[in-house]
Amino acid sequence: MTKSFKALWDLFLFRDKGILPTQRLLLLMVVVSVLSTALAALGTSWFTLLAMNLGVLVVSLFDLGLSPSKKQWQIHREIEEEVERGLESEMTVSFYNPSDYEADIQVIDQFPTSFSNPFPIRERIPSDKKVTLSIPYVAKERGDYTLESLFVRYRSKYGLWEKQMKVNEESRLRVIPDLTESRQFLEDAQRYLLYEGSRVRKRKQGSGEFSKIRNYVVGDDLRLINWRQTAKLQELMTNEYEPEHGKYITLMIDCGRMMGVSLEKGNRLDRALEAAVTVATAALKKGDAVSVIAFSREVEVYIPPAKGMQHLQTILQQVYSLKASQAESNYSALFQKIETAQKKRSLLLLFSDVNTLVHEEGNMFYLQRLRRKHMFLMLGIEDQTTIQKGKQFPGTTKEAIVKSMAQKQQMDKTKEVRKWEKQGIQMIEAPEDRLAVTAVTRYIDILNQGLI
C-alpha cells in the first residue's frame, strides 16, 4: 500500500484531515452522468453537456464555501485524570463556531478498544455559538491511557461536501479499581456487611481498648455497667470497648496466570484488587497498619506498612495498573519476602486461586513456618462454571461425563482444602460479587476475637 493511497484510505475511515464528497453529491453526479448520456444519445452538443457538468461543479464548490473554515473552529476536550473501572464516567468536548454558518458535526475520539464506544456523536453547532457536548463512556480495564487526536467532520450548508479535521488534543488518564465497595464501607460499615448477608461476630465483652461511656440500652451486657458514672448521673451508663488499634495487615495479591480468568465483570485479578482495597480501607479506618505485596513469577510490588487514610492513595497508585501475568505464581518468592519484610505479627490475607495453591505441596512447608508468627487466611473466587456443571441434569452421555468430571474436581479440591485446614491454614472461596464483603467480614472477625 503506497503512502498516498494509505492517506486517502485513512481519510475515508475518519482517521485524517481533508475534504470528502457526501452521498448527496455522489448521487447528484450519477444523475447528471445518466442525464448527460441520454442527452448525448439524442444528439445534444458536447458544449451543452460540458456546460451542464461545469455548472454542477461550480454549484458544489459554491456550497463548499458556505461552511466554516477549519481554522475558525475552537475545539477543546476535558476528561478526568482518574476514573474507576467499570463505572460510567463523562468527558466533555466544547465547540466554538465563530463563523457566519452553522454546521452539522460528527465527532469521533481515539478511545482505546477496552473503552465503550459512544461515537460518532452528532450535533448541530449554530453560528457564533459555543456548544459543549457531554459524552459518557465506561473504561473496562485498569491502566494508563493516552487520548491523542479528536476527529471532527462537518457538512456544507446544502450537504454536498464534508470537511474533516484532526484536532491534536492530548489527554492522559488512569483507570483505577472500582472503589464502590470501599465507599459503601466508609458510609456505614455495619449496613454494608448486613446488606451483603453477612454479620460481624460479636467480640468478647470488655475486651480490647476502652472507647467511651454511653447510655445503657436494652441488650447491653450488665457486667459492663459503669456504676460510678451511673451514681453520678442518676441513669444507667455502660462502658464501650473496641478492638485494639495498631495491628498489622498484609495484603498479598496474586497476579499469576490463573488470575487472568474472565468473570462476569472483569477478571479474577480485578475482583481481588477491589477486595484488597476494601480491606485496606477498613483496616486504615480502624487505625491498623497495612502493607501490600503483589506477585507473579516474582514480587512485583511491595508497599511497606503504614497507617492513616492517606496511605490508601499510596496503595492505589502502586497497584492500579497491575496485570495478570502469563507466568505461573511463585509462592516461594512471596513467602520469602514476607519472612524478611514483615517482622511483626500480622494478619496475612492472600487473594489467589485455591486450586493453584493447594496442589503445590511445597507451599505447606512455608505456610507452617509463617503460622508460627502470623495469622494466615486465603481468599479465592468460586469457579461458577464447575459448580453449575456439577449441578446440571445430564440429558446426554456427554453431559453426564462433564457433570461427573466437574463433581470429581470439586471433591478433589474439597479434600485438599480440608487437609490444609487441619494444619491450621484457613481457605475461603466466595462468589465474585461477595469477595470484598467476605474479606472484610473475616478481617473484622479475626480482629474482634483478638487473634492478632
Question: Once rounded to an integer, what is the mean pLDDT over residues 56-79?
Answer: 87
The H or E element spanning position 171 is strand 161-176
54-58, 123-127, 338-342: which has the minimum mean pLDDT?
Answer: 54-58
Is 194 within a domain?
A: no
Residues 237 and 151 reside in one and the same domain: no
Question: Residue 87 has what pLDDT?
Answer: 93
CA distance 86 to 330: 29
Residue 159, phi then psi, degrees to nearest 5 = 70, 30
Which position has the grid cell 498516498? 4
Question: Residue 319 has what pLDDT?
Answer: 94
Question: Residue 429 has what pLDDT?
Answer: 92
Is 19 within a domain?
A: no
Residues 156 and 232 reside in one and the same domain: no
Q: Is a pLDDT exceeding 60 seen at residue 194? A: no
Is 270 within a domain?
A: yes
Is 199 within a domain?
A: no
Residues 258 and 384 reside in one and the same domain: yes
CATH number at residue 337: 3.40.50.410
Question: Residue 202 has what pLDDT?
Answer: 46
Is 38 within a domain?
A: no
Whole-prediction pTM value?
A: 0.78
Residues 155 and 98 reside in one and the same domain: yes
CA angle 325, 330, 334 (to 5 degrees): 110
CA distance 166 to 150: 6
Question: Residue 245 has what pLDDT?
Answer: 59
Residues 379 and 340 reside in one and the same domain: yes
Question: Residue 207 has what pLDDT?
Answer: 52
Q: Are 302 and 340 in contact (CB under 8 A)?
A: no
Domain, as residue range, for 335: 248-448
Q: Which residue, 101, 88, 80, is CA-closest to 172? A: 80
Question: Once rounded to an integer, what is the mean pLDDT over residues 140-160?
Answer: 88
Question: Residue 425 has what pLDDT?
Answer: 85
Residues 291 and 394 reside in one and the same domain: yes
Domain boundary among 242, 268, 298: 242
- Residue 82: strand, helix, or coil: strand
Residues 365 and 237 reside in one and the same domain: no
Is 62 within a domain?
A: no
Q: Is a pLDDT exceeding 90 seen at residue 364? A: no
Residue 76, phi then psi, degrees to nearest 5 = -145, 135
Total structural domains in the chain? 3
Q: Is a pLDDT exceeding 90 seen at residue 162? A: no
Residues 360 and 280 reside in one and the same domain: yes
Whole-number percent of the chain with pLDDT over 90: 34
Residues 330 and 369 reside in one and the same domain: yes
Residues 170 and 305 reside in one and the same domain: no
CATH number at residue 159: 2.60.40.10
Question: Residue 314 has what pLDDT?
Answer: 95
Question: Residue 210 has what pLDDT?
Answer: 66
Residues 161 and 252 reside in one and the same domain: no
Q: Which residue has the higher pLDDT, 302 or 30?
A: 302
Residues 233 and 291 reside in one and the same domain: no
- Residue 158: strand, helix, or coil: coil
Q: Is a pLDDT exceeding 80 seen at residue 93? A: yes
Q: Is a pLDDT exceeding 70 seen at residue 198? A: no
- Residue 8: strand, helix, or coil: helix
122-131, 237-246, 373-382, 435-444: which has the minimum mean pLDDT?
Answer: 237-246
Q: Are 81 and 119 in contact (CB under 8 A)?
A: no
Q: Which residue has the higher pLDDT, 435 or 12?
A: 435
